[in-house]
Structure 1
Amino acid sequence: MAVWLKIVTIAIRAAQLICAVVIVGVAGQYIADPVAERKGDLGHLSRFIFTIVFGTLSAFLAAIWLIPFSSNHMNWKFDAILALPLAAGGGWLAYCSIDTCGNPAFSDSSDAVKNINVSDDDDQLLKPGSSVCTKWRVLYVFSFAAAVLWMISAAVGFFWVKKHFVKPKPKAGRRR
């Protein structure tokens, strides 16, 4: 495997891991929020639980496959399959946030990144005072980003497998 391909694979897996950790952290913070429990309607939490489940699976697989072995590219089918529920979860979150937060826009991605808390002062993933809409935007932006990263990883794996595993051509001659 070429060195540049190993570097690209490690960068993609690290980005997948970061996106997955943000997804799990924000969704977990939203579910654990006592204000959400006081609303009485916890049925809307199913989309966050769905997002946490596939975010956790994404983080687990990205952490395992972060080690650069050639066999990681053999898992390109799992990469493509995992991208589907992450994209579905992001779409579900974006669809459900339209009534409360307005239509999703491309500017949501820059807003989502700006609201990530990078200071070590507290244990919150988002900046203090972040609204519900901010949490939803962060979730669907990072869900879509994770889905795109998993699809890129699947494409890299597909082309690597296609290049390195060539089907043998039948020999010319008579059959027995």
Structure 2
Amino acid sequence: MDMKAMFQLSYGLFVVTAKEGEKDNGCITNTAGQVTTTPNRITLAVNKNNYTHDMILRTGVFNVSILSEKAVFDTFRHFGFQSGRDVDKFADYGSAKRSANGLYYITEGTNAYLSAKVVDTMDLGTHTLFLADVTDGEVLDSAASATYAYYHSNIKPAPAKEEKKGWRCKICGYIYEGDVLPEDFICPVCKHGAADFEKI
């Protein structure tokens, strides 16, 4: 099978939040979707390694903040690149409010949130699929929802290009790596000599 075919599926991006006792937590996911309108239900798949997963499994409630194209990379880093087991993600986080169910939802870089109550679960191996009734929700902004493709094209920073040091051929752009360019060096691409190189 060509696994690249799976990349053609369109996904939204979300911050899923939960609360257990005095502990609030949240994680990034791309696996929420509406499945019925009557009753109004969604599914959410959460990786079992996420602390948020365990909180939802025990409490049966969660919020889904729908990330918009206004979302910044720091939101993804904050909720996706660290574990709630190690840090309190809401300790100094100012862009959140509590909904009627007492859980946080994200107010910046989102266009809506949904509150949900779990009615059933399915073990998917690495993930648990939660089937949940939508109990509340609010539109927060008119910005378009961010897709996984939009995130990769517009939000996620491009990897830093490692600058090569050495000498560049002014004719073809070939780069010789090294502090000293031999006087008799010949470019392997365009066959020009050392006189046509510049230090970079």
Using structure 1 for the length normalisation, give the TM-score.
Answer: 0.26
Higher helix share: 1
Larger Rg: 2
Higher strand share: 2
